[in-house]
Amino acid sequence: MSDLSDLVSMYITKRNERLAIERQAQIMKESEDEIKLKLITAMKAEGFKQARTDKGLVTYSSKPMPIVKDWPALYAHIKDTDSFDLLQRRVHEGAVALRTEEGIKIPGVDFFPVDKITVSG
């Protein structure tokens, strides 16, 4: 049992170390994102596509990102044109879980085990 206790302790220690680093990284990322927004705003205002310093070169670009405003219309188009490539291929885990709990078997969907450890205390 000592080996298991040692593994639990080592796991929790390493997990806590990682979480502390991730918290630091998140704080740094938030600061980076604030500066990035200011940089984009400044470059757009000045009309610059590139800016260089002794640290390196940044290039500004913009591209349109799709957003669905009418899902029924999109679904109808996908069905009518057999354009299922417009969707990402994954099922919604929560929706599948609810149907499974209701005893509904969804054709084409299978399950595989995912191991998980939960830490508390």
Contact present, 68 and 74 (Cβ < 8 Å): yes
Average pLDDT of 96-100? 95
Contact present, 43 and 59 (Cβ < 8 Å): no
Q: What is the pLDDT of residue 5?
A: 94
**Does residue 1 carry a pLDDT above 80?**
no
Interatomic CA distance for residues 46 and 59, integer angstroms: 13
Q: What is the pLDDT of residue 2?
A: 81
Contact present, 61 and 53 (Cβ < 8 Å): no
Query: Rounded to an integer, what is the distance from CA 87 to the centroid of its chain?
Result: 17
Global pTM reads: 0.68
4-51 pLDDT, tens per residue?
999 999 999 999 999 999 999 999 999 999 999 999 999 999 999 999
Helix (H) or strand (E) holding 58: strand 56-59
Q: What is the pLDDT of residue 21?
A: 98
- Which amino acid makes up residue 8? V
Helix (H) or strand (E) holding 50: strand 50-53
54-69 pLDDT, tens per residue?
999 999 999 999 999 9
